[in-house]
Chains A and B, each alone.
Chain A
Amino acid sequence: MKKKMISTFLAFSMVTALLAGCGSSGSATTATTAANGASTTAAQADTTAAGAESTKADSDSGKTLTIGFSQVGAESDWRTANTESMKSTFSAENGYNLIFDDAQQKQENQITAIRNFIQQEVDYIVLAPVTETGWDTVLQEAKDAGIPVIIVDRMVNVSDDSLYTAWVGSDFELEGQKAAEWLNSFATAKGIDPSSLNIVDIQGTIGASAQIGRTKGLQDAVDKYGWNLLEATTGEFTQAKGQEVMESMLKSYDNINVVYCENDNEAFGAIDALEAAGKTVGSDIANGQVMVMSFDSTKAGLTDVLSQKITLNTECNPLHGPRVEDIIKALEAGQTVDKKKYVDESIFAVDDTVKSVTVDGNSYDVTVVTQDVIDQRAY
């Protein structure tokens, strides 16, 4: 009797754990609405919840496009902004019917979502994949159903390129190159000898595409310009690790003058560690300040640029919506589209010492951070 009870409770608890693990995946829309909190407007919620048919005002084209979007989850501000960009671009007012699915970081959920989209006969599928591999079968199903698939953010690794129509995302290596070129121009402008630049690289989570690209951008420049890269170690994209790693590196080297952080959270941690050790952060390397460089350009990150704690912040743009819309419009008009489409990304600096940087022959303007720039920031 007692044993039976135990096993019943065991089963019960496992089911509870399972449910808990899935979070509120019962209704994907509610999950994100909750995650985005007040920022999700009622109008957007309507659009996404309304299912297949409901549309109000038709756009000028006269046809309402139904778009299925499978998002990774809501793990960061960046992701939330990415979701928001899609929702505001493909709104009912703009003549779209967006079916949004939050995959809660699970590929199985994304595969199920895509199959649902195919059954609902959507016009386009937009996929922000959680992993790179394992998409061949389900994308083949979409192709067989004649539905174009647009990949955003991370790439998919499939045997046949024709399984997806286009990809929209960030060029992480270019981000790294831009930051490195800026550092070179800045050092030249200030008359700093390249060999006296002692850099430490606080890397992102090892193996993440953002880490690989940004690290490579720096490494190549170190080889090219003869900088002194003291150490590269991971801060796992978190503030706590960034702080711990910086603390440790300050004890190993007393000549660090540039800290290259691969996202804003790491930069916050590194700044705290530097200040606790009595260093001053800022761009004036010649006078003993330690320069902090960062990526992502979140609102909090740019606020630190304004207060001169972060010298350079290279953007990682989550606003993919408009780019995806361009592709869909081009496809509707019967045009062919580029297989890869990078989003535009800005460079935010503390001052205008360097006005623009050139990478592979392309020139990129540097924006000086002001309160206005921060106020316009959505995330």
Chain B
Amino acid sequence: MKQKSFSWQRLVHARLFMPLVCLAVVLLANVIRTPDFFKISINNGVLYGYLIDIINRSSELVILAVGMTLATAASGGQDISVGAVMAVSAAICCQLLSGGEVSVTSLAAPIVLAALAGVLAAGLCGAFNGFLVAKLHIQPMVATLILYTAGRGIAQLVTRGQITYVRVDAYKVLGGYIGSCPIPTPVFVALIVVIIMAVILKKTALGLYLESVGNNGKASRLVGLNSALICFMAYVICSILAGIAGLVASSRIYSADANNIGLNLEMDAILAVALGGNNLGGGSFNLTGSIIGAYTIQALTTTLYAMKVSADQLPVYKAIVIVIIVILQSPVFRSLIAGMKRKRAVTVDEK
């Protein structure tokens, strides 16, 4: 008996416990209103259901959350330019594919090349952010504010203020389906990104270095780590991932909508990191937590659609749920709960 309650305690105190509970609660809340929420069927040759929607639609956010986690860990600040960087990457890719036309039905450049150019441009944005943060020690939020405002302007300049359409089936693959595969491609993209990043963090010392630099940059430098370079790399990786997310978002609508691609997504990405139980002040981090956080946010959006919440009230409900989740996960609340438990234990003992 004692053994059992001991392991239960350990489970409750595990880092991923609260993020997982929150995700589960959001998902299970649906069963009340929409009994067949978890039903997955094959429709038109592809998987079909609310769960599939959640996993598919959250792909961009998962990719962003991975990058945001690294940038947060290394610098103790957030990169708020990721949404705009998505737009830049999409704009450059689509503009190359369309060869400067507003709408095309044939490609002007190979897709791989255009996609690489888009991601490269995103990487350059990341290098700019990284330089400001790591070399010049500007507050991350202030440094990335530059591209947050200018990024969409750059994307608009690239697309000449128009929405550039690439109406070619091959370009729709990234945001759609590969051949007759029933699983949406964005799911694979997110999965590949997560696996690659997990392998890099596990197999190299990068993860450890990031945590060390985030915890104490000066001490890390004194033990021989190049703090600035590691922080710089975190921002470059963050922006490259944003670039990939931008390509997925652009492929979904086979166009570059510089005004709307990734709009407000930087806030969701930061929220995902926070919901994952990560410290926004930098240092040690948990990638899995951020990914769970990203799925929770999209699950919430899809849930509100499924519950037929009217459009004008949508933000209110979203805010209420998020406030509750954040409070549940706050250290003060947690210690309060722990204190209550201890008190109860004491009174039981007294009896």
Contacts and interface: CB of A to CB of B under 8 A. Distances in A.
Interface of A: 6, 9-10, 13-14, 16-17, 20-21, 23, 34-37, 74-77, 80, 203, 206-207, 231-234, 236, 238-240, 243-245, 247-249, 251-252, 265, 268-269, 272, 276-278, 300
A76 B259 CA distance: 9
Interface stretch (B19-27, B158-166, B189-197, B268-276): B158-166
A248 B53 contact: yes
Contacts of B312: 206-207, 234
Given A13-B138, A21-B150, A75-B259, A203 B311 contact: yes
Contacts of A206: 311-312
Interface residues of B, number: 47
Contacts of A77: 162-163
A13 B143 contact: yes
Nearest to B46: A276
Nearest to A299: B103
Contacts, number: 113
A249 B305 contact: yes
A236 B314 CA distance: 12
Contact of B161 (A35, A244, A245, A268): A35
A238 B261 CA distance: 10
B146 interface: yes
Interface string B134-153: 00111100110110011001
A238 to B, nearest CB: 5
11 contacts: A16-B146, A17-B145, A35-B160, A203-B311, A232-B311, A236-B260, A240-B261, A243-B253, A248-B306, A251-B50, A277-B48
A14 B305 CA distance: 39
Given A239-B255, A244-B57, A245-B305, A23 B136 contact: no
B49 interface: yes
A233 B310 contact: yes
A276 B44 contact: yes
A240 B260 contact: yes
Given A36-B161, A239-B257, A251-B49, A10 B311 contact: no
Contacts of B137: 6
A243 B53 CA distance: 11
B156 interface: yes
B145 A277 contact: no
Given A249-B305, A251-B53, A269 B149 contact: no
A245 B301 CA distance: 10
B138 A10 contact: yes
A80 B102 CA distance: 13
Given A20-B146, A234-B312, A248-B50, 15 more contacts: A9-B138, A10-B138, A13-B146, A17-B142, A34-B160, A34-B161, A37-B160, A206-B311, A232-B310, A240-B253, A243-B253, A244-B53, A252-B34, A252-B305, A276-B176
A269 B146 CA distance: 31
Contacts of B146: 13, 16-17, 20
B288 interface: no
Contacts of A17: 142, 145-146, 149-150
Given A9-B136, A36-B161, A14 B142 contact: yes
A6 B135 CA distance: 10
A284 B128 CA distance: 54
Contacts of B162: 37, 77, 80
Contacts of B279: none
Contacts of B43: 277-278
Contacts of B310: 232-233
Contacts of B103: 300
B132 interface: yes
A338 B163 CA distance: 36
Contacts of B142: 10, 13-14, 17
Nearest to A35: B161
Contacts of B306: 248, 251-252
B157 A34 contact: yes
A108 to B, nearest CB: 16
Contacts of B165: 300
Contacts of B138: 6, 9-10, 13
A313 to B, nearest CB: 17
Contact of B305 (A203, A233, A269): A233
Nearest 4 interchain pairs by C-beta: A278-B44, A20-B150, A234-B311, A35-B161
Nearest to B308: A231
Contacts of A34: 157, 160-161
Interface centre among B132, B143, B308 (most CB of A within 10 A): B308
Contacts of B53: 244, 247-248, 251
B150 A240 contact: no
A36 B156 CA distance: 11
